[in-house]
Amino acid sequence: MRRKKEIVITGATGSVGSACLSVIRENPDIFRLRAVSGHHNLDLLESICREFKPDAVSVAEGTGGVFARRFNAENYHPLIFEGTDGLKKIASEYGDTVGRRSGGNAGKTVALANKESLVLAGKLIMETARRTGARILPMDSEHNAVYQALGSNRTEDIDHIILTSSGGPFLHKPQAEFSGITPQQAMKHPNWSMGKKISIDSATMMNKSLEVIEAAHLFSMPPEKIRVVIHPEVIIHSAVAMKDGSVLAQMGTSDMRIPAAYCLGGEERILSGVSPVNFWEMKHLTFLAPDILKFPTLRYAYDILKLPDSAAAVFNGANEELVSRFLAGSIPFTAIFDTLGALHRILTGPEQNNHALLFNINSVEDAVYANTLGVSFAAAL
């Protein structure tokens, strides 16, 4: 009987954490949940602890005592940690595989569902992983699909990577009507139920722009070998075109449990709780070229990848601020495109070699600083 693989899930109360927990539930003979983290949703975190009985829990700063009292009358008493130090503690000292919505972890297998960490410091994270022997497995559905399609194929055999996109809620909406788009309309994604920020990013296609940057780091691909195709049915999650003309695609139901199972299983096919797609029920599969005039955010990624490391972090920070202001009702939807366009012109202009926004990322602090510069840029306009 093989030893159970010990899993740590950070952000266990979120949608990705829920998918990972579901996979563990499906495979009780393979996995043991060793540690979890949540933030302020203590009720759900308590429920998770009572079901899986992890050894350790990390909660938001200042809530450890409150959470501990929930188990005063129990035989089960998890070790409780708080804040950033708590996250580091459970990620580094518990488990074989860490399902994360944040950065890497030395010597571990890290199933990464957060694209922003690689956007901010992709080169630094991937170099650190190589140096320490950590494995970073992409749990984001598109990158997980590329990872699955690659299989045992060599990187040098790839002609290009194909990232699919649903096109978001405004795929067929005329650009002339963009100025009247409300946050409520932008959050109505046609395929997914997601958080507010990522829903807006999908509406502007900034999410796909970030995914292009993420793919470049994950798969060591130059930007010219990463392509985007609009596929509204979201059956093909991404594909890899090989130099012999073959195209290897990963297909499946739009369910995060599939990439979660592949990552947690360490490339072993295990139960996810999801049924395969029924080809007899498919009426058609549609593929369109992205409209970069209507959604210029997608084009920016390719230019950003040719600039110093900080450019991506600056863009990410600016976008975060713009999305926040749009959700608050203080700027129109089109201001996101306008401001990011202005930032793009500055970064790619003739003075770029001497621009204060452009520098190499040599530490996490550098990445956070660059992101903050982007926030400040957007806030000033």
The whole-angstrom separation of Cα 263 and Cα 97 is 9
**What domain count does the chain have?**
2
For residues 97 and 155, membership in a common domain is answered with: no
Strand pairing class (236-242; 158-165): antiparallel
Instruction: Identify which of 191, 212, 354 has the alpha carbon closest to the alpha carbon of residue 295.
Output: 212
Q: Please list the pLDDT of the chain residue by residue as tens digits (381 residues).
A: 568 899 999 989 888 899 999 999 999 999 999 999 988 889 999 999 999 999 999 999 999 999 999 988 778 889 999 999 999 999 888 877 666 544 445 567 888 888 889 999 999 999 999 998 888 999 999 999 999 998 878 888 999 999 999 999 999 999 999 999 999 999 988 776 778 999 999 999 999 999 999 999 999 999 999 999 999 999 999 999 999 999 999 999 989 999 999 999 987 899 999 999 998 888 899 999 999 999 999 999 999 999 999 999 999 999 999 999 999 999 999 999 999 999 999 999 876 666 899 999 999 999 999 999 999 999 987
- Residue 281: CB atoms within 10 Å: 6
Report the predicted TM-score, pTM, of the whole model to 2 decimal places: 0.90
What burial class does residue 269 get, using C-beta atoms within 10 Å of its C-beta: 0-12 exposed, 13-18 middle, 19+ buried?
exposed
In a domain, 113, yes or no: no
- Helix-helix angle 115-132:206-218, to 10 degrees: 10
Please give the radius of gyration of the chain, using alpha carbons only, rounded to the nearest integer.
Answer: 21
In a domain, 115, yes or no: no
Phi, psi of 313 (to 5 degrees): -65, -40
For residues 148 and 87, membership in a common domain is answered with: no
For residues 64 and 165, membership in a common domain is answered with: no
For residues 242 and 374, membership in a common domain is answered with: yes
In a domain, 126, yes or no: no
The whole-angstrom separation of Cα 241 and Cα 224 is 13
For residues 154 and 91, membership in a common domain is answered with: no
For residues 181 and 321, membership in a common domain is answered with: yes
In a domain, 351, yes or no: yes
The whole-angstrom separation of Cα 137 and Cα 118 is 12
Query: Domain range spanning residue 56?
Result: 5-102
In a domain, 118, yes or no: no
The whole-angstrom separation of Cα 98 and Cα 100 is 6
Which one-letter DSSP state was computed for residue 258? H
CATH code of the domain containing 56: 3.40.50.720
In a domain, 116, yes or no: no
pLDDT value at residue 102: 44
Give the burial string for 68-85 (b: 16+ CB within 10 Å, else e): eeebeeeeeebebbbbee
Answer for the pair 53, 45: CB distance below 8 angstroms, yes or no: no
Phi, psi of 216 (to 5 degrees): -60, -40
For residues 235 and 172, membership in a common domain is answered with: yes
Task: Give, in order, the Cα–Cα distances in Å from 181 to each of 108, 158, 176, 194.
Answer: 44, 40, 11, 18
In a domain, 135, yes or no: no
Give the burial string for 120-142 (b: 16+ CB within 10 Å, else e): bbbebbbebbeeeebebbbbbbb
Using the 3D structure, point to which of 80, 102, 124 is the last residue of a domain: 102
For residues 171 and 275, membership in a common domain is answered with: yes
For residues 164 and 91, membership in a common domain is answered with: no
The whole-angstrom separation of Cα 180 and Cα 334 is 9
Using the 3D structure, point to which of 51, 73, 102 is the last residue of a domain: 102
For residues 53 and 157, membership in a common domain is answered with: no
- Lookup: tokens for 94: 């518990």
For residues 366 and 244, membership in a common domain is answered with: yes
Using the 3D structure, point to which of 69, 102, 135 is the last residue of a domain: 102
Place of tokens 């807006």: 200
**Residue type present at position 15:** S
The H or E element containing residue 201 is helix 196-204
For residues 233 and 174, membership in a common domain is answered with: yes
